[in-house]
Structure formats: structure tokens, C-alpha cells
Amino acid sequence: MGGTPNKRDLEAGIQKDFSRSMSYGDYLRLDVLLSAQQPLSDPPQHDELLFIVQHQTSELWLKLMVHELRSARALLRTDDLSPALKRMARIKHIQHTLTDQWSVLATLTPSEYAEIRPFLATSSGFQSAQYREVEFLLGNKNADMVDVFSHDEAARTRLAELLHEPSLYDEFLAHLSRQGYAVPQRLLERDWTQPHTTDPELVDLFAAVYAAPAEHWGVYETCEELVDIEDAFQQWRFRHLQVVQRVIGHKVGTGGSSGVDFLRRALSLTFFPELYEVRTRIGQ
């Protein structure tokens, strides 16, 4: 018996000549993108490409997350809640992808990492300007972080601007106020350069929302979307901590931080404290 041909012929209408038209590679600038991986190890180390690709793809996802966060914040500012929620839903999927990515880097053993670590010099993920933009947009403001980017004027300018602007949560509170909710005025006129701290009156406001979800559905849904974002961010932080501990143990980080201990302290940081505090009230 004759076997089934293991071949799929090209359909007649498939484009094959790109001498005068744009190809997939042209649109995505793959010549630029795929030439950006330049290992420095000498002699070449097999696992350096993994390390570079892991962090470059993370930066691409962070770029998209900053884009979506800025848009969600702007939409809240104009009280366009539905599209803002759509942006937040996309942000969660980006976060899950970033967290899953750590599993690839976790295949790097301590011995393999030791071969490429000298070539990283003082570079560190701590110096990711886009990661700091995400933190500032979510409300984890820290003026000291701006100075880390004194060598990069564009990045420093973006962070300095975000430092002095309301965060996503600040814009949500302003939106609530415009909708008639009793948001304390001090939260609407505060110093945006400082991180938000728990406000008991705001906990009361959210307790009322959670006590009657059907009456406050848009606000209720937004609260849960924000909790999802923070939860996903904490999962990313924890997975990062696990992978670092697995690969380098308790060594000092390449950027000078204490490494694992520094990352562990970040787990105590919160963006939306009232949305967690209110959970203690529900059902009481």
C-alpha cells in the first residue's frame, strides 16, 4: 500500500515575492530584533543566549504593560470605566506570561550561571527602567529610584514625570469621587510622589461596596480587577525570588543588592492596601 504524501503544497494565492511588498520580517523589524542578542562571554557560553532572550522578552512585555497601564489610567481620568477594565484584563494576561517565563530561566543551573555571571558586570534587572515605570504607575513610588537612572536621561525623565503624577489607583479614587462616592478629600489632593498608605475611611467605603455588589457593580468589578493585578504582581515577585535563590543562593546581586533578601522584602509592599484590608470586614 502506498503511504500518504507528507507534503502540503502551497496554495496558488500565497504571496511569495516580497521584492516590492512588505513581508512579516519587514513589519516586525526582525533584522533589528534578532540581531540584538549579542553574547559577551569569551569563550562563548551556551547558556548566555537564554539569559539574554529571557530578559529582552521580559522588557518587551513590560513595554506593553506600561502602554496598557497608561491607557487604563487615562480612561479612568475621563470616567471611561469599561475600556479601562479591558486594559486591566489584558495586563493580567501579560503578568501571567511574565511569571511563566521564569520557568525557562530556572533551567539554568548554578554552575551554568557561574560561567556567564562575570560578563554581566554590574548590570542587573534592578536597573530595568520599564519595571520601575510599572511600579510607579501602580503606586509604589520611590524618589530614590529615579537617581538610579541618572545615566539615562530619557528613562530618568519618564520616571520623574510618573513620580509626580497620580497612579492608576489614585485615578480610580478620583473617578469614585466624581461618581459621588465619599472619597476623603486628602486622598484627592495628596503628594503624588509618596506611596499611598492605608486610609480607614477608604476601607469603610469599600466595605459598603462589597456589602452590596449588585448596587455598585462597576466599582466592585474594578476593585477585583485591581486585586487580580496586585495578586499577579506578587506571584511574579515570588517566582523571581524562587528562581534567584535556586540559581545563585544568597550571593550579592550583580547590581549590588543583597539579592534574595532584597527581593524577599519586596513581598511586603502593596499597591492597593484597602482592597485587602476590606476582606477582613466582609461577612462580619
Distance between CA atoms of residues 77 and 100, nearest Å = 32
Residue type, 78: T
The three cell numbers locating residue 60: 518587551
Provide the annotated binding site for heme. Answer: 240
Give yes or no for residue 264 having a pLDDT over 90. Answer: no
Provide the annotated binding site for substrate. Answer: 51-55, 113, 117, 254
Which CATH fold would you assign to the domain 46-126+168-280? Methane Monooxygenase Hydroxylase; Chain G, domain 1 (1.20.58)
Give yes or no for residue 125 having a pLDDT over 90. Answer: no
Give yes or no for residue 277 having a pLDDT over 80. Answer: yes
Distance between CA atoms of residues 115 and 231, nearest Å = 35
The three cell numbers locating residue 187: 486622598
**In the chain, domain spans:** 46-126+168-280
Length of the chain: 284
> The whole model's pTM is what?
0.92
DSSP structure class, residue 9 = P
Handedness of CA 35, 37, 40, 46 (dihedral sign): negative
Mean pLDDT across the chain, nearest whole number?
Answer: 92
Q: What is the mean pLDDT of residues 63-90?
A: 98
Structural contact between residues 253 and 124, judged by C-beta atoms closer than 8 angstroms? yes
